[in-house]
């Protein structure tokens, strides 16, 4: 069995060797072999970040089974902006409807799910003159039933693979958009009776994240709310968050936009954990290999053992992760 993975980065080879070792071991455990293809995100002549998708990107992404996006920013804000734009364009072209952000903390994995495309009408967003208050800005938010359902089902699947707890975060029943999200999420719950669903405001969700991030595996919300919660998620985990774009097929984009710190073993190790967190889902969702829970359990054990003090060399970290996976498989 061959696993066809398309990698995208600003370097020819931006996959940390330690992460590649673990990924190869996990695949070979189930008799699979990984085949990589690569796309550079730099203009070949001037070596500057691309602001749009490369010409052959879509055809290569569609022929691959998964896209591994490893565009480390190296402290370059322009590269980060370009990376996010390329991710947005690629996910939309591939019709991937949900953005999933994950962070690995001492309490486990916390997951944030939102729609991949902001629910705003471009033609109903701008400025106008109010005769009393002067210039005012306006933005119209909208969502269709099918759009919400597609994203919600992905959140439910994430919850089923975790502690079966899902929190819908919205602005309350006084807002039409929130009312529709609540109705559809409640209706879908009939298909996932083992998932416990609750509703909360952004303030309540933020407070719970800060106080006990491990108590809620999956948070579902519209994209306008997700930005603030994502920042909190990054802060409380004190580690890079992985970012995934998923849809109704097995094809997905698995991204880690963490800044590369090859001269700082602790920061580089955190980046390795973030990449492997996404790779665990990639092996499960895009390739159907039942190894994801064993990888996540290994990452959790490492995080619990060392906390934010991962000062070992990358090869030593890979050895420990592989050992933990072997222990988990033997249980």
- What is the domain-level CATH number for residue 277? 3.40.50
* 180-199 per-position pLDDT tens digit: 999 999 999 999 999 999 99
Mean pLDDT of all residues in 51-56: 78
pLDDT digits (tens, 9 = 90+) for 131-155: 998 999 878 888 889 999 999 999 9
Residue 319 counted as domain residue: yes
Is residue 117 situated within a structural domain?
A: no
- Classified as helix, coil or strand, 43 is coil
The answer to whether 39 and 101 have CB atoms below 8 angstroms apart is: no
Tell me, yes or no, if the pTM score tops 0.75. Answer: yes
**Is 291 part of a structural domain of the chain?**
yes
Average pLDDT of the residues in 27-49: 82
Query: What is the SS3 assignment for 60?
Result: helix
Rounded to 5, what percent of the chain is helix, strand, coil? Answer: 45, 25, 30
Q: Is residue 143 part of a domain?
A: no
User: Under a CB-based contact definition with an 8 Å cutoff, are residues 17 and 75 in contact?
Assistant: no
Burial of 110 (0-12, 13-18, 19+ CB in 10 A): buried
- Single out the residue of 296, 322, 321 nearest to residue 310, CA to CA: 321
Give the number of other Cβ atoms within 10 Å of residue 308's Cβ.
12
Report the chain's mean pLDDT, rounded to a whole number. Answer: 84
Q: Which domain holds residue 41?
A: 1-96+247-331
Residue 133 forms part of a structural domain? no
For the chain, the domain total comes to 1
- C-alpha 307/C-alpha 286 separation (Å) is 30
Which of 39-48, 51-60, 96-105, 192-201 holds the top average pLDDT?
A: 192-201
103 is a domain residue: no
Q: Over pLDDT 70: what percentage of the chain? A: 87
Residue 47 included in any domain? yes
Residue whose C-alpha is closest to residue 218's, from 195, 246, 241, 186: 195
Does 14 fall in a domain? Answer: yes
């Amino acid at each position: 069995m061959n696993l066809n993975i398309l990698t995208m980065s600003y370097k020819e080879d931006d996959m940390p060797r330690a992460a590649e070792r673990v990924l190869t071991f996990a695949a070979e455990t189930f008799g699979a072999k990984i085949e990589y293809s690569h796309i550079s995100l730099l203009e070949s002549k001037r070596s500057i970040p691309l602001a749009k998708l490369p010409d052959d990107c879509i055809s290569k992404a569609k022929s691959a089974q998964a896209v591994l996006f490893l565009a480390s920013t190296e402290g370059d804000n322009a590269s980060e902006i370009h990376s996010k734009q390329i991710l947005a364009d690629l996910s939309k072209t591939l019709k991937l409807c949900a953005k999933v952000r994950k962070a690995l903390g001492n309490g486990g994995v916390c997951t944030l799910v939102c729609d991949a495309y902001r629910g705003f009408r471009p033609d109903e967003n701008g400025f106008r003159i109010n005769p009393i208050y002067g210039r005012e800005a306006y933005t119209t938010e909208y969502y269709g039933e099918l759009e919400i359902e597609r994203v919600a089902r992905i959140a439910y699947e994430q919850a089923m693979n975790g502690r079966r707890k899902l929190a819908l975060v919205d602005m309350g029943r006084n807002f039409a958009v929130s009312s529709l999200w609540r109705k559809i999420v409640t209706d879908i719950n009939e298909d996932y009776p083992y998932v416990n669903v609750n509703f909360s405001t952004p303030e309540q969700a933020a407070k719970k994240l800060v106080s006990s991030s491990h108590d809620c595996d999956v948070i579902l919300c519209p994209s306008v709310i997700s930005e603030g919660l994502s920042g909190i998620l990054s802060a409380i985990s004190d580690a890079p968050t992985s970012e995934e774009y998923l849809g109704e097929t097995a094809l997905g984009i698995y991204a880690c936009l963490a800044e590369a710190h090859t001269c700082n073993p602790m920061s580089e190790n955190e980046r390795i954990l973030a990449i492997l967190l996404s790779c665990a889902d990639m092996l499960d969702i895009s390739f159907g290999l039942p190894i994801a829970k064993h990888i996540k359990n290994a990452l959790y054990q490492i995080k619990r053992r060392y906390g934010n003090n991962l000062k070992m060399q990358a090869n030593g970290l890979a050895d420990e992760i592989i050992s933990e996976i072997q222990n988990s498989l033997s249980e």
